[in-house]
Amino acid sequence: TPLINARLPKKMQSLLLLVGQKAERENVRVFAVGGFIRDLLLQIPNHDLDLVVEPAAIPFAEKLNELLRGQLTTHEQFGTASIVVPGGTQIDLVTSRQEFYARPAALPEVEQSSLKNDLFRRDFTINTLACSLKVSEFGTLIDFFHGIDDLGKGLIRVLYNLSFVEDPLRVLRAVRFEQRFGFRLEETTLSLLENAAQTRVLEKVSKERLYDEIQLALLEEKTPEILIRYFELQLAPLLFPGVCYSEKLKNRLTSTREMIAWAGRNWPDAAVSPSALYLAALMLELPFQEARHLCRRLRLPRNEVERVLAAVESVPQLLTKLLTPESLKNSELYHLFSGLPAEVLLILQAENSLSRIWESTSLYWEKLRHIKPDVGGRDLLAEGYLPGPVFQEVLLALKDARLDRQVLNREEELSLARKLFAMKEKNDA
């Protein structure tokens, strides 16, 4: 209780109390479990509340939602429910597993053992902590599997030997938690994981679940470390076939994180997708067709695929052009970058720290892409020129001239347009 009072925002404290009071009134037991308690102990904010309810989650969720007036969803076949509380907190409620309930010999401990069985089926000891919320036992911390010990020692430990075989996705979750918290894989867990990697258990996971987990990994602060660890643990060949690990890739991934933070500060309008950037960084040296195939395999949504492939396709050529000794005119830079997503420019910056590259990308993103001539098609029509290919060429030439600062205002643009039309007429004649 002191931890709850000291570390959780007031709103969350009231929510927990409300749940506890409702549990008391409905005469059910309710436990906050998993990541919520883990993060409470680690002093990390966590806004998703996972509850285990004995004996049944759905009727309790319905009662609770009469008070919360949130958005309730129920799944009868799994006995689960979720409530999105106004303000954004998500509460997930599960029924503590019933099948272990009726064991005559364990009757005095029936309730406890059903919570215990529920927690035993989870992935790692640090995720098995529970805290009772029912008012009469509010704040009681339950630690069946030495989760607190492992939190203290910084260990990721599975609860049983078949854990990775039963749910191979846990292999990737183990790496994500290990890197997120700066923990270590406990010795037996590490060898079980290595064994799972060798026997390619990840191939059994559905593409959708795999994609969801990779997306979660790509949203972490420690994404580069997680991806690097995938390579160290021989998991990467299954996830990203064809991608070779090298010092260069390692540095690129770390620079990519810096670029994401940099873009957040300097290019807030770029709406950069961190996952597209990391995937582009991973695939940068793959042949285009292989990268396309991998995007498909990873079930990336189309807008992500476009960003990743734009980088794979254009970054090598862009680098060559930007590094030629002659400096490029603004209009040339504009045409080089025009239409490319911000992610491509950021990968260029991650790839090469030369100030020339940075000056070019910043000049384009911050200035050139916004420049438009004052004179448009309508003005040319008003001058009596007729639409057609020449008309279009003149408009483009005006834009280039404006980019290169050969013309600085409307009058200068109009006089350039007249000159260009006159030249064309003379040439045609």
Interaction site with ligand CTP (CB under 6 A): 34-35, 50, 122-123, 127, 167, 169-170, 173
Instruction: For ligand CTP, give the closer residue by CB, 123 or 285.
Output: 123
Question: Which one, 121 or 321, has the nearer CB to ligand CTP?
Answer: 121
* Least distance between ligand CTP and beta carbon 170 (Å): 5
Q: What is the DSSP string of 119-159?
A: HHTSSBGGG--EEE-SGGGTT-EE-TT-HHHHHHHTEE-BS
User: Distance (Å, rounded) from C-alpha 161 to C-alpha 413?
Assistant: 75
CA-CA distances (angstroms) from residue 422 to 96, 160, 361, 413, 428?
Answer: 84, 84, 36, 14, 10
Question: Shortest approach of ligand CTP to residue 71 CB, angstroms?
Answer: 18
Rounded Cα–Cα distance for residues 37 and 186 (Å): 21
Distances in Å between the Cα of 30 and the Cα atoms of 53, 106, 143, 264, 323 are: 5, 20, 15, 40, 63
The C-alpha atoms of residue 62 and residue 166 are separated, in whole angstroms, by 32
- Comparing CB distances to ligand CTP, the nearer of 96 and 127 is 127
Q: Shortest gap between Cβ of 50 and ligand CTP (angstroms)?
A: 6
* CA distances, 61 to each of 37, 51, 72, 283, 371 (Å): 20, 10, 8, 45, 56
Provide, rounded to whole angstroms, the least separation between the CB of residue 125 and ligand CTP.
Answer: 10
165-186 exposure pattern, b = at least 16 Cβ within 10 A, e = fewer: bebbbbbbbbbbbbbbbebebb
* Least Å from the CB of residue 38 to ligand CTP: 6
Q: Which is nearer to ligand CTP, 26 or 167 (CB)?
A: 167
Kindly state the smallest distance separating residue 22's Cβ from ligand CTP, in Å.
22
In contact, 202 and 172? CB cutoff 8 Å: yes
Bridge partners of residue 130, in order along the sequence: 33, 142
CB of 264 to ligand CTP, least distance (A): 21
- Nearer to ligand CTP among residue 24 and residue 39 (C-beta): 39
Residue 304, token pair as written in the block: 């992500």
Choose between 34 and 373: whose C-beta lies nearer to ligand CTP. 34
The residue (of 34 and 224) whose beta carbon lies closer to ligand CTP is 34
Q: Are 164 and 170 a contacting pair, CB within 8 Å?
A: yes
Least distance in angstroms from the C-beta of 159 to ligand CTP: 9
Residue whose CB is less far from ligand CTP, 85 or 169 = 169
Smallest separation, CB 143 to ligand CTP (Å)? 14
DSSP string, 158-200: BSSTTHHHH-THHHHHHHHHHHHHT-EE-HHHHHHHHHHHHTT
Residue, CB closest to ligand CTP: 35
Among residues 178 and 351, whose Cβ is nearest to ligand CTP? 178
